[in-house]
Amino acid sequence: MTMTARELAQAATAVENGGALPAGLPEGHGLIIGITGAPGAGKSSLADALVREIRRRGKTVAVVAVDPSSRTTGGAILGDRIRMQSHHGDPGVFIRSMATRGASGGLAQTSVRMARLFRGAGFDFIIVETVGAGQDEIEIAASADVTLVVLVPGMGDEVQAIKAGMMEIADIFVINKADRPGVDQTATELDTERPIFRTVAIDGAGVPELMDAIAGFEPKRPLTPDPQWSVDHIGVAVRSLEEALPFYTEQLGMKLLGRETVLREKVNVAMLDAGPSRIELLEPTAPDSPIAKRGPGLHHVAMRVNDFDEVIARLKKSGAKVLNEPRRGAGGHLYVFIHPGSAGGVLWEIIQHPHELNHQPNKEQNCQK
């Protein structure tokens, strides 16, 4: 799939916000390199050095840099973009920093799918750099074709702790900052048959040899498609957003993603981050709003689908009662509602996100203006 840098950035934003991968995304053949290890080991510097070496060899590379989120604000430092500014303007390099948003294991919940996006977009190598929190980093093994565990000399007992949690996932151990004292002792303490490379990432020492070893690996698995169905959000009708929001944001600690008014539906909307899905609070703005008619409480369950037209056609053919023609909803997604009588008493919303429609140009004409 050929995408411009802008289209790729838009697709990456959509994936990070819970959207599906672009329709028709091929498998790709890029190698996913996972970089993990203890904080302070120089993972970002090593990733930057690998990018330089990959470009020196005439190959393309995308970087998924996972930064820690503040549990209070949900924000992240996203410092890898600053560290890798020297690659700005290089069309063969694409860097995306992501916040963990509280996900365990050091990987943001959508970072694996982000790596899939870049592989499908045709990059030769995809580097996934994790937060680095010791033994919790085993999640990287589920997505990487080759996993680098990075250490530094002088870690002492920390080497044993890292071995206990990462020995099984490491394909290659990298002792970075190898110009420091204690590098031989660290290599001895690893006591492993897996390859051990010594690097000084800031000046590139040892990086070409490490890259030779990485290039000897092959992708472990093909790019798997997104599931046909996934929960996008749960709609909850409330009398007042101002009264309801403190429970979700202050007591539950959910992040408010945004607010919007949908004039057609006569409703004010507040969207909250709920991990891989979202909570949509709905406040009626008029007595004849569809939200007011049903009253406060669970309003609907919204399911995201990959092929909107095909799903709706299949539902209609099977006799399901579709309540409206496709419309644009909050955030620009395309949606229809399915009558509760056809869905076991639950109002269902079937949606497809805007970025998915961008890859299916005929969908726009189905929208009611």
Cα of first residue to Cα of last residue in the chain, in angstroms, is 31
Of 215, 244, 272, the residue that ends a domain is 215
Q: Is the same domain home to 132 and 235?
A: no
DSSP 3-state of 120: helix
Taking a C-beta distance cutoff of 8 angstroms, is the pair 30, 134 a contact? no
Of 215, 238, 258, the residue that ends a domain is 215
Nearest to 159, CA basis, from 27, 38, 252, 286: 38
Q: How far is it, in rounded angstroms, from Cα 309 to Cα 356?
A: 12
DSSP 3-state of 98: strand
pLDDT at site 222: 58
Amino acid at site 6: R
Q: Residue 359: how many CB atoms within 10 A of its CB?
A: 16
What residue ranges of the chain have pLDDT lower than 50?
69-81, 102-106, 108, 134-136, 355-369
Q: How far is it, in rounded angstroms, from Cα 211 to Cα 100?
A: 27
Q: Structure pTM?
A: 0.62
Q: How far is it, in rounded angstroms, from Cα 183 to Cα 169?
A: 22
Q: How far is it, in rounded angstroms, from Cα 188 to Cα 182?
A: 10
Beta 297-305 vs 229-237: how paired, if at all?
Answer: antiparallel
Of 215, 244, 261, the residue that ends a domain is 215
- Helix (H), strand (E) counts: the chain: 11, 15
User: In the beta sheet, which residues pair with residue 260?
Assistant: 269
Q: Is the same domain home to 361 and 234?
A: yes
Q: Is the same domain home to 359 and 275?
A: yes
Q: Is the same domain home to 32 and 179?
A: yes
* Residue 184 forms part of a structural domain: yes
pLDDT at site 215: 95
Q: Is the same domain home to 328 and 210?
A: no
Q: Is the same domain home to 170 and 238?
A: no
Q: Is the same domain home to 161 and 248?
A: no
* Residue 150 forms part of a structural domain: yes
Parent domain of 329: 229-366
Q: Is the same domain home to 193 and 246?
A: no
Q: How open is the CA angle 204-141-36, to the nearest 5 degrees? A: 35
Nearest to 26, CA basis, from 121, 113, 143, 115: 121
Q: Is the same domain home to 126 and 204?
A: yes
Tally of domains within the chain = 2
63 DSSP 8-state letter = E
* Residue 59 forms part of a structural domain: yes
* pLDDT tens-place string over residues 178-202: 999 999 988 888 888 899 999 999 9
Q: How far is it, in rounded angstroms, from Cα 234 to Cα 28?
A: 34
pLDDT at site 247: 96
- The label of the residue with tokens 């690893």 reads 190
CATH number at residue 110: 3.40.50.300
pLDDT at site 4: 87
* pLDDT tens-place string over residues 250-292: 999 999 988 999 888 899 999 998 877 899 999 999 999 989 8
Q: Is the same domain home to 20 and 132?
A: yes
* Residue 224 forms part of a structural domain: no
Amino acid at site 139: E
* Residue 220 forms part of a structural domain: no
* Residue 223 forms part of a structural domain: no
* Residue 222 forms part of a structural domain: no
19 DSSP 8-state letter = P
Taking a C-beta distance cutoff of 8 angstroms, is the pair 74, 273 a contact? yes
Q: How far is it, in rounded angstroms, from Cα 332 to Cα 301?
A: 18
Q: Is the same domain home to 17 and 68?
A: yes
Q: Residue 252: how many CB atoms within 10 A of its CB?
A: 11
b (16+ CB within 10 A) / e for 4-19? eeebbebbbebbbebb
CATH number at residue 265: 3.10.180.10
